[in-house]
């Protein structure tokens, strides 16, 4: 559950600002992270994992959680959003195993710098 909270904070509060050279917008990155969260919960905890979030299907979870992506915040003062780093973060998050003890991949710390 800690991973979900960290992911939501990154996805909803850690994205925004001007972008780097990649085409991945902050909203697109957030959408991908929310979908990955629902997939992760289903993969690792099955239907019980989705029920923890209040959903009965991956599709319902993804659709509802992605609604929050319209409220993405911005990077901190003096920081810039790096779309290429966001993609690296998303890819690393998707590859986390169900036994991983990490809340978020280290790559996610580099999205706003």
pLDDT for 53-80, tens place per residue? 899 999 999 999 999 887 666 678 888 8
Write down the residue that tokens 């917008």 correspond to: 25
Task: Choose among 66, 72, 10, 67: nearest CA to 39.
Answer: 66
- Alpha-carbon dihedral 40, 87, 71, 55, rounded to 10 degrees: -10
pLDDT at 85 over 60: yes
69 token code pair? 């992506």
pLDDT at residue 72, rounded to an integer: 66
Q: For residues 50 and 35, give the distance between their C-alpha atoms in angstroms, rounded to a whole number.
A: 12
In angstroms, the CA 61 to CA 35 distance is 8
User: Does residue 35 carry a pLDDT above 90?
Assistant: yes
| pTM to 2 decimal places | 0.76
Q: Is the pLDDT of residue 21 over 50?
A: no
């Amino acid at each position: 559950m800690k991973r979900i909270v960290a992911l939501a904070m990154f996805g909803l509060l850690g994205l925004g600002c001007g972008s780097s050279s990649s085409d991945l917008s902050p909203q697109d990155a957030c959408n991908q992270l929310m979908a990955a969260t629902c997939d992760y919960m289903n993969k690792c905890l099955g239907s019980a994992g989705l029920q923890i979030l209040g959903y009965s299907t991956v599709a319902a979870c993804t659709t509802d959680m992605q609604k929050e992506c319209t409220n993405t915040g911005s990077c901190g003062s003096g920081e810039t959003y790096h779309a290429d780093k966001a993609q690296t973060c998303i890819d690393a998050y998707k590859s986390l195993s169900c036994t991983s003890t990490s809340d978020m991949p280290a790559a996610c710390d580099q999205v706003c710098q």
